[in-house]
Amino acid sequence: MNKSNRVLYANIALFNGLYNTKIMKKYLVGGAVRDKLLGIADNNTEKDWLIVGSSTAEMLNLGYQKVGKDFPVFLHPESKEEYALARIERKVGKGYNGFEFDSGKSVTLEQDLSRRDISINAIAERDGELFDPFNGRADIENGLLKHISPAFSEDPVRVLRVARFAAQFKKFGFKVAHSTHKLMQNMVTSGEVDALTAERIFKELSRALSVNTPSAFFKVLTACGAYEKVFFPLKSYENERHQNSFEKLDNMPTDSAKIRFAIWLKDENFELIGQLCQRLKCPKKYQELAQLTNQYYQFAQKFSQQNDAEILQFFAKTDAIRRKNRFAELLQTFEVLGVDVQNISKLTSTLAAIDVAKLDKTDIAAAIKIEKIRLIKLFIDST
């Protein structure tokens, strides 16, 4: 291709790009619009942009970078924010991935919004003008989490998302609409919820545990019958004591999802915690902290009353000296639960300061153990 032809084609591409930007329309959608209407000024809220009237080829021609294989999502060439083509979907199989998509130019804004989970997430904004075909603003004002259409039941992740939104917006008094609650119950009894993957369960669980009022997440799942399905082999209990245990997760002096995870499970069976964590494929550090909390919470409450052998075993089993960060998290968890850990911290520092160079080198392991027992006995005598 000679130089004049290259210039011609470049000018045509530029003209097409400018022309397409006039035809295609860009909307801000989802959480950013919802949170603005709720008066939430959160810089961490992701901005979701929707493009109506374009195609994959045109987006690539304009310099956008395609990401992912399943959805027509692109990164802006400069801001790197995500832009998605408007799409409609059709259920063809079980679970989150059981859909076929159409992201052609003819897909309208309302068609795209109609596939979203609940009405408060189906509001779009363009140049300051709101587009609200499913009365999301009214549901925000009334504090309702309400599905848009029966298609809600085609995606089991939506059960978890509604429960998570109930926790996230508990401070605003949001409740699950009765019709949506019934739909969620039907999804449990039909077996649709059984198609949830471990990764999606843990993702929504960790998000729920990251907000200040996670109790609503567990209560919503319990109410629709999903708790036992989602968190098998744990059992759900409708009695007041179990519901109150959820309430204790709220307004804790920590923003750590890992610590709340451990506190959620502190009264469960030790072996069941391991089975649950294996099933959910949760990070090993979550399982370790949960099981250590479960195993030693009551021990820590009466730490000063324990004998030297029990205290020595506690430090050995928790690997307190070598795994300092994990042990610090364990003590923080105890503190959140109202345990005074001052004596544990003091003794930990004392044991960590043992000068190995001054001990008998003949059998160094035995010498370290003897020195630890000596220091522990001194601690017991002084308390």
DSSP codes of every residue in 44-103? TSPPEEEEES--HHHHHHTT-EEE-SSS-EEE-TTT--EEEE--EEEE-SSSTT-EEEE-
Give residue 94's pLDDT band: very low, low, confident or very high (50, 70, 90): low
For residue 8, pLDDT beyond 80: no
pLDDT at 11 over 60: no
Across 254-264, average pLDDT:
95
Average pLDDT value for residue range 344-355: 95
Compute the average pLDDT of residues 75-87.
91
Query: Residue 245's pLDDT band (boundaries 50, 70, 90)?
Result: confident
Instruction: State both tokens at 182.
Output: 């019934």
**Per-residue pLDDT, 273:** 97
What totals of helices (H) and strands (E) does the chain contain, helices first?
Answer: 18, 11
CATH topology of domain 1-142: Beta Polymerase; domain 2 (3.30.460)
Q: Which residues does 213 contact at the CB level (< 8 Å), separation at least 6? A: 167, 170, 171, 250, 251
Q: Is the pLDDT of residue 84 over 60?
A: yes
pTM, full prediction: 0.86
- What confidence score (pLDDT) does residue 225 get? 94
Sequence-ordered list of residues with C-beta below 8 angstroms from that of 165, at least 6 positions apart, any chain: 118, 120, 145, 174
pLDDT at 90: 75
pLDDT tier at 89, thresholds 50, 70, 90: confident
| Per-residue pLDDT at 27 exceeds 70 | yes
When pLDDT is averaged across residues 326-346 and rounded to a whole number, the result is 97
Instruction: Tell me what the mean pLDDT of segment 365-382 comes to.
Output: 93
16 pLDDT above the threshold of 50? no
pLDDT at residue 7, as a whole number? 40
Find the mean pLDDT for residues 195-216.
Answer: 96
- Whole-number pLDDT of residue 281: 96
Which pLDDT score, from 0 to 100, does residue 242 have? 60
**pLDDT tens digits, 47-66:** 889 999 999 999 999 999 99
Whether residue 240 has pLDDT greater than 60:
no
3-state SS assignment for residue 33 = helix
Q: Average pLDDT, whole number, for the chain?
A: 89
Residue 382 pLDDT > 60, yes or no? yes
Q: What is the mean pLDDT of residues 91-98?
A: 59
Q: How many residues does the chain have?
A: 383
pLDDT tens per residue, range 298-320? 999 999 899 999 999 999 999 99
For residue 342, pLDDT over 80 is answered with: yes
Domain boundaries, the chain: 1-142, 143-251
Find residue 118's DSSP bridge partners: 147
Distance from C-alpha of 296 to C-alpha of 311, rounded to nearest angstrom: 11
Instruction: For domain 143-251, say whether CATH 3.90.1150.10 is its number.
Output: no
Greater pLDDT, 342 or 90: 342
**What's the confidence (pLDDT) of residue 160?**
98
Q: With 90 as the cut, is the pLDDT of residue 15 above it?
A: no
**Is the pLDDT reported for residue 288 higher than 80?**
yes
Give the pLDDT mean for 358-364.
87
The reported pLDDT for the residue numbered 97 is 59
Selection from 109, 96, 131, 210 nearest residue 164 by Cα: 210
Q: Once rounded to an integer, what is the mean pLDDT over residues 233-250? A: 76
Give the model's pLDDT for residue 6: 45
